[in-house]
Amino acid sequence: LQVPLEIKTVQQALDQAEDGDIIAIAPGRYTEALIARTNVTLRAEIPPFLLPGSTREVIIASNGVGSTLRVPAIQIKDNAGEQ
Protein backbone atom coordinates (compact mmCIF):
# COMPACT_ATOMS: atom_id res chain seq x y z
CA LEU A 1 0.00 0.00 0.00
CA GLN A 2 1.46 3.38 -0.97
CA VAL A 3 0.59 6.72 0.64
CA PRO A 4 -0.34 9.08 -1.01
CA LEU A 5 0.22 7.50 -4.45
CA GLU A 6 -2.45 4.76 -4.10
CA ILE A 7 -4.17 5.74 -0.87
CA LYS A 8 -4.64 9.35 0.24
CA THR A 9 -3.97 9.07 4.00
CA VAL A 10 -2.02 6.86 6.37
CA GLN A 11 -5.22 6.06 8.28
CA GLN A 12 -7.01 4.95 5.10
CA ALA A 13 -4.07 2.65 4.40
CA LEU A 14 -4.23 1.29 7.96
CA ASP A 15 -7.98 0.68 7.53
CA GLN A 16 -7.35 -1.34 4.35
CA ALA A 17 -4.27 -3.19 5.62
CA GLU A 18 -4.17 -6.84 6.61
CA ASP A 19 -1.77 -8.46 9.07
CA GLY A 20 1.79 -8.36 7.74
CA ASP A 21 1.18 -5.64 5.13
CA ILE A 22 3.78 -2.93 4.49
CA ILE A 23 2.56 0.63 4.08
CA ALA A 24 5.07 2.72 2.11
CA ILE A 25 4.79 6.43 2.91
CA ALA A 26 6.20 9.12 0.63
CA PRO A 27 8.17 11.98 2.20
CA GLY A 28 5.98 14.67 3.72
CA ARG A 29 4.08 15.62 6.85
CA TYR A 30 0.95 13.66 7.74
CA THR A 31 -1.12 15.02 10.63
CA GLU A 32 -3.46 12.21 11.62
CA ALA A 33 -4.72 10.37 14.66
CA LEU A 34 -3.75 6.78 13.81
CA ILE A 35 -5.57 3.65 14.89
CA ALA A 36 -4.16 0.32 13.71
CA ARG A 37 -6.31 -2.77 14.01
CA THR A 38 -3.78 -5.07 12.36
CA ASN A 39 -0.04 -5.67 12.72
CA VAL A 40 1.58 -3.71 9.89
CA THR A 41 4.86 -2.04 9.01
CA LEU A 42 5.02 1.65 8.11
CA ARG A 43 8.03 2.31 5.90
CA ALA A 44 9.45 5.58 4.61
CA GLU A 45 9.45 5.38 0.83
CA ILE A 46 12.48 7.49 -0.05
CA PRO A 47 12.85 8.13 -3.79
CA PRO A 48 16.26 7.47 -5.40
CA PHE A 49 16.47 11.16 -6.40
CA LEU A 50 14.82 14.29 -5.08
CA LEU A 51 13.52 17.39 -6.77
CA PRO A 52 15.16 20.63 -5.62
CA GLY A 53 13.56 21.84 -2.40
CA SER A 54 12.01 18.48 -1.54
CA THR A 55 12.76 16.45 1.58
CA ARG A 56 13.54 12.86 2.52
CA GLU A 57 11.70 13.27 5.82
CA VAL A 58 8.47 11.48 6.69
CA ILE A 59 6.79 12.92 9.78
CA ILE A 60 3.59 11.55 11.25
CA ALA A 61 2.09 13.87 13.85
CA SER A 62 -0.21 11.59 15.80
CA ASN A 63 -1.89 10.61 19.02
CA GLY A 64 -2.36 7.10 17.63
CA VAL A 65 -3.02 3.91 19.56
CA GLY A 66 -3.57 0.34 18.47
CA SER A 67 -1.75 -2.75 17.30
CA THR A 68 1.95 -3.14 16.56
CA LEU A 69 3.36 -0.45 14.28
CA ARG A 70 6.96 -0.79 13.15
CA VAL A 71 8.19 2.52 11.82
CA PRO A 72 11.80 2.47 10.59
CA ALA A 73 13.09 5.88 9.44
CA ILE A 74 9.86 7.68 10.32
CA GLN A 75 9.49 10.40 12.95
CA ILE A 76 6.30 10.23 14.98
CA LYS A 77 5.38 13.33 16.97
CA ASP A 78 2.38 14.20 19.07
CA ASN A 79 0.24 17.19 18.15
CA ALA A 80 2.48 19.45 20.24
CA GLY A 81 5.49 18.45 18.11
CA GLU A 82 7.07 16.27 20.83
CA GLN A 83 8.68 12.95 19.88
pLDDT in tens, 29-42: 788 878 888 888 88
Residue type, 66: G
| Region class of 56: left (phi > 0), else alpha (psi between -120 and 50), else beta | alpha
This model's pTM is above 0.75: no
Mean pLDDT of 63-70: 50
Q: Is residue 19 helix, strand or coil?
A: coil
CA 48 to chain centre: 18
Stated as kind and residue range, the H or E segment containing 22 is strand 22-25
Higher-confidence residue of 59 and 22: namely 22
